[in-house]
Structure 1
Amino acid sequence: MAVETYRIIKAPTEGFYKEKGSKFISYAYPVEEVEEVKPIVEELKKQYHDARHYCFAHIINAGNVQHIRANDDGEPGHSAGDPILGQIKSFDLVNTLVVVVRYFGGTKLGVPGLVHAYKTAAEDALSKAEILTMEVKTDFTLDYPYEQTQDVLRITNDFGVEIKDQQYTASCLLKGRIDPDRFAAYRDKIALLDLKVVKR
Structure 2
Amino acid sequence: MMVTVRQPVRIQFKVKRSEFIADLFPVQSRSEVEAVLRTRKKEHPKARHICWAYRLYHPESVVEYGSDAGEPSGTAGTPILHQLQRRNLVQCGLTVVRYFGGIKLGIRGLIDAYGQAAANAVDAAQCVRFVPVTQGLLMAPFRHIGDLNRIVSNLEGRIVQDLSGETIRWKVAIPDQVLEDFSRKIGEIPNTRWEKIEQA
Bin the TM-score by the shorter chain.
0.7 to 0.9
Match of 2:85 among 74, 85, 89: 89
1:175 counterpart letter in structure 2: K
Greater shift, 13-22 or 85-94, is seen at: 13-22
Distance 1:145 1:29, change over 3 A: closer
In structure 1, what is the Cα distance between the partners aligned to 2:91 and 2:125?
Answer: 13
1:13 counterpart letter in structure 2: V
Q: Is the 8 A contact 2:142 2:168 kept in 1?
A: no
How far does the alpha carbon of each residue in 1:160-199 deviate from its partner, in whole angstroms, 9 at most, with x for none? 4322223224665333233434321221222233655344
In structure 2, what is the Cα distance between the partners aligned to 1:51 and 1:104?
Answer: 8
Partner SS, residue 83 of structure 1: helix
Q: In the TM superposition, what is the alpha-carbon distance from 1:143 to its structure 2 partner?
A: 4.5
2:108 counterpart letter in structure 1: P
Partner SS, residue 2 of structure 2: strand
Percent of aligned positions with the same letter in both sequences? 30
Please list every run of 5 or more consecutive structure 2 residues that lacks an aligned counterpart in the other structure. Answer: none
CA RMSD of aligned residues (A): 2.9
In structure 1, the residue matched to 2:104 is 108
In structure 2, what is the Cα distance between the partners aligned to 1:34 and 1:46?
Answer: 19
Partner SS, residue 168 of structure 1: coil
In structure 2, what is the Cα distance between the partners aligned to 1:79 and 1:190?
Answer: 50
Distance 1:148 1:26, change over 3 A: same
Partner SS, residue 183 of structure 1: helix
In structure 1, what is the Cα distance between the partners aligned to 2:74 and 2:25?
Answer: 21
Q: Is the 8 A contact 1:146 1:169 kept in 2?
A: no
Q: How many residues align?
A: 195
Q: In the TM superposition, what is the alpha-carbon distance from 1:153 to its structure 2 partner?
A: 4.2
Q: In the TM superposition, what is the alpha-carbon distance from 1:52 to its structure 2 partner?
A: 0.5
Alignment of 1:27-38 (within 5 A): 27-38=23-34
Partner SS, residue 107 of structure 1: coil
In structure 1, what is the Cα distance between the partners aligned to 2:150 and 2:17?
Answer: 61
In structure 2, what is the Cα distance between the partners aligned to 1:158 and 1:127?
Answer: 33
How far does the alpha carbon of each residue in 1:59-105 deviate from its partner, in whole angstroms, 9 at most, with x for none? 13378774422121111122111110111111221122211111123
Please list every run of 5 or more consecutive structure 1 residues that lacks an aligned counterpart in the other structure. Answer: none
How far does the alpha carbon of each residue in 1:127-152 deviate from its partner, in whole angstroms, 9 at most, with x for none? 11222224x24314244343664354
Distance 1:121 1:105, change over 3 A: same
In structure 2, the residue matched to 1:144 is 139
Greater shift, 109-118 or 137-146, is seen at: 137-146
